[in-house]
Amino acid sequence: MPAVSPPGLRPLASVFLLAVLAAGVSAQVPGTVSPRLQRALARPDTTVLAWVIAKPAADLDAVAAAVRAAGGTVRRTSRFVHAVSARMPGSAVASLARSRLVRRLQPIGVYVRNESADAQTRSARSPCDGCQPPAAPALPAADTTYGPGAWAFRQLDIPALHALGLRGRGARIALLDAGFNTQHPLMAGARVVAQHDFVYGDSVVRDQPDQTQREMGHGTATWSLIAADQPGQLVGAAPEADFILAKTEYTVTETRTEEDNWVAAIEWAESLGVDVISSSLGYLTFDDGSGYQSAQLNGDVAVTTIAADSAAQRGTLVVISVGNEGPQPRTLGTPADADSALAIGATDSLRRVVGFSSRGPTADGRIKPELVAPGLAVTVAAIDLGITQSNGTSFATPLVAGLAALVQGARAGRPALELRQGLLAAGSFALEPDNDHGWGIPDAFKLYAFPSGVTPLGVSSNAVETVTPSFAWDAGTPIPGTGPHLFRLKVGSDTALRTLVLDTTIATSSLTLPFGAAPGAQLFWRVVASSPLGVAESTAVRGPLLIPPWVTLRTFASRAGQSIRDSLPLFVWSSPAAASPPGPFVYDVYVYPASRGPAEAVAAARGITDTTFRPTTRLERSLPYRWRVVAHLGADSVTVTSPGTFIVLDPTLPAATVLFQNFPNPFPNPALGVDVTCIWFDVAQQGVVRLEVFDLRGRLVRRLAPSSQVPGVLPPGRYGRPPGDAAGTCDPHFAWDGRDETGALVRPGVYLYRLAAPGFRDTKRVVFLGAP
């Protein structure tokens, strides 16, 4: 009997099939109709296959009714994509584009599988075009359990879990492919709980007499790596799992599979409570020669990609082949670019990534593939009887999916998506993932011990608001019999953790630093979890965590100095949080003349916990002061001293004329951020006042008073201090900046400044260090 085309497909001469372009479901492209679909507007008699993307608030039943009213036929309704796929005349495109229910129309993607590497029975063919992969290993002597393909399972350490009695019972796994031989002897004991053919529209996924033959070979091979259970020939990763089988692809020569079949299948599987989905039908190129551009592989364009992520959001672990277009970068297909799915690459028997395995990154910079597994000369079920060898990421994918199902069966109903992080953490490249290996080859025993991995919590690197930071991590809920875990926490001051400040082993999943970290320190940390099974898993090094100062002075903290009028000033400082113990902070405060030291403090307090201090006796006026806070935390302490001085101004008239020593001296002082030197003086009697700077030969360098801003006759008063409540310790009229009368900088050296006033004359030395 001649093969019958599946329902919904017509010869190309009568159907205008359009491939997906950049206009994805999430992409913000001007207009309601994608650029490619706009061609149909000029050809109303043309039939098109299109996605009708609904607006967020639109009811899908109403959208489907609008499609039918426009003369279209609904193919699929997708709640994952919030869209309807339909066959419609070109005249319906314009009508639906104007609908208030429709957000966008775009063509249904039509794919062609790359058979160059992914050939189920043609293992002699080169695994990729233009590259030289490692030679396929000779068929080894049959393992009494796993048969000649035992190496593939051992590479993932799956036999170690089988030895514990795990066989996948309790897990439900779906496979999406081109059909499955459900009567194959190797899978005679497999429990198939549901099957559906989305191509021909029936509930039989194996080849049928009135349909195209030999379609089921690829799917049978992928299924066998999970479900086979014939010791000595082939034993799959999780043969006692429950299986959901979906036929989504029509494989006659270069014929097509529509992406709405794939979307419908993944929604159907999810509705049946699937834990893990395995799909080896990722593609990049369409049958008309077009395809997704690398810029579109960002996890937001392809409808299949969005559907995969939607399934993951519902707790399903989606495992997808990355593709066979390697070894160049950015050769992955869709839906392997999905954010939350696991894309799987291929290795050989020596754990090397093979040339045909597609590489990332995605357009938005994410690493792909996530994992790699055996994909060269892998022993699989032949289409009807026995075994054969096959190449491709298609066969690496069910190995990882089967491993996930194997562990999921022991997890008592926990969401399978949690295994995604556990699989990455169990990878051989977990600490240094790249776009060739991803996170590497997953280790089954490590995944069993830490099914959701060990995930550091909190910020990875940032300034923290405490001197006793907490370190926390999540090791998930151990499978019964695999816990409790012990955790070794290392905290150091360098990324290699050579200089440790803490090294301790605890049974809890968090710890607060039991002492105050040094102010300004950078802390790095890592935790190594140990299971009673003898398996350890390490997080990557995290950090740096930037420790804040123990004390920040909030008053009288200007490097340039400050003048105040209150002789009983309030001193204020702040400190970050500190856990107790060792906290709280305890403080000692000292206020002392700048020319002396804290030992000669004129005001002090010790052992206080407040962050303010006010002296009980008035500070002497016109005297430069500094102040200091010593913060104690446990056995450690930190001292912070005001960088500049402060002076209490005297509001009374002076009893005598006085010339004070300039400050800072020498100047400028970059450490204080000061470029000028201040000159203070008091005048007791009104009269002519001159303030001048000379060199050592007596030649005038600069006249500060009188000047254009300072009159020649000054009344009694205190001069040089900042006017009013201005900040700083200087009146700029009486500050020298090291320049002469012409504005030029003088040479570095010693100079003299002289004050002449009624009945008074005095000279002092000033040292100029040169241009700042």
Question: In this structure, what CATH number is given to the domain that contains residue 158?
Answer: 3.40.50.200
166 plus 234 within the same structural domain: yes
350 plus 495 within the same structural domain: no
| pLDDT for res 622 | 80
The answer to whether residue 589 sits within a structural domain is yes
Phi, then psi, of 387 in degrees rounded to 5 = -130, 165
The answer to whether residue 423 sits within a structural domain is no
67 plus 157 within the same structural domain: no
**Ramachandran assignment for 363, one of left (phi > 0), alpha (psi -120 to 50 degrees), beta (any other):** alpha
205 plus 328 within the same structural domain: yes
What's the pLDDT tens digit per position in 628-648?
999 999 999 999 999 988 988
Q: What is the mean pLDDT of the chain?
A: 87
- Give the residue with greater pLDDT, 468 vs 14: 468
| CA atoms within 13 A of residue 399's CA, in its CB half-sphere | 34
- Domain of residue 102 covers 21-107
479 plus 560 within the same structural domain: no
224 plus 285 within the same structural domain: yes
Res. 525: pLDDT tops 90: yes
Q: If pLDDT is split at 50, 70 and 90, which confidence band does 139 have?
A: very low
229 plus 329 within the same structural domain: yes
Which of 84, 107, 130 is where one domain is finished? 107
What's the pLDDT tens digit per position in 376-425?
999 999 999 999 999 999 999 999 999 999 999 998 778 999 999 999 99
| pLDDT for res 61 | 95
One DSSP character per residue, 515-540 reads SPPPTT-EEEEEEEEE-TTS-EEEPP
Q: Which residues, at least 6 apart from 640, have a Cβ–Cβ distance to it below 8 Å? A: 549, 550, 551, 552, 553, 573, 628, 629, 630, 631
Res. 257: pLDDT tops 80: no
The answer to whether residue 144 sits within a structural domain is no
573 plus 536 within the same structural domain: no
The answer to whether residue 666 sits within a structural domain is yes
Number of structural domains found in the chain: 5
Supply the CATH number for residue 538's domain: 2.60.40.10
What's the pLDDT tens digit per position in 478-514?
998 898 999 999 999 999 999 999 999 999 999 999 9
631 plus 753 within the same structural domain: no
| pLDDT for res 22 | 31
What's the pLDDT tens digit per position in 17-72?
333 333 333 333 335 786 667 766 666 677 888 889 999 999 999 999 999 999 99
The answer to whether residue 437 sits within a structural domain is no
The answer to whether residue 593 sits within a structural domain is yes
Percent of the chain with pLDDT over 90: 70
Beta bridge partners of residue 760, listed in sequence order: 757
Which of 107, 125, 159 is where one domain is finished? 107
600 plus 476 within the same structural domain: no
| pLDDT for res 439 | 98
The answer to whether residue 731 sits within a structural domain is yes
712 plus 590 within the same structural domain: no
Could you tell me whether strands 242-247 and 172-177 are parallel, antiparallel, or unpaired per DSSP bridges? parallel
User: Which one, of 293, 182, 160, lies nearest residue 243 by Cα?
Assistant: 182
Whole-angstrom Cα Rg for the chain: 39
Q: Are 219 and 195 spatial neighbours (Cβ–Cβ below 8 Å)? A: no
The answer to whether residue 129 sits within a structural domain is no
Burial of 124 (0-12, 13-18, 19+ CB in 10 A): exposed
Is pTM beyond 0.85? Reply is: no
581 plus 511 within the same structural domain: no
Q: If pLDDT is split at 50, 70 and 90, which confidence band does 463 have?
A: confident
Cis peptide before 582 (omega within 30 of 0): yes
Res. 128: pLDDT tops 80: no
Instruction: Please give the sequence-ordered ranges of beta strands (E in DSSP) within 577-619, or none if there are none.
Output: 586-593, 603-608, 612-613
**Exposure string over 658-681, b if 16+ CB within 10 A, otherwise e:** bbbebbbeebbbeebebebbbbbb
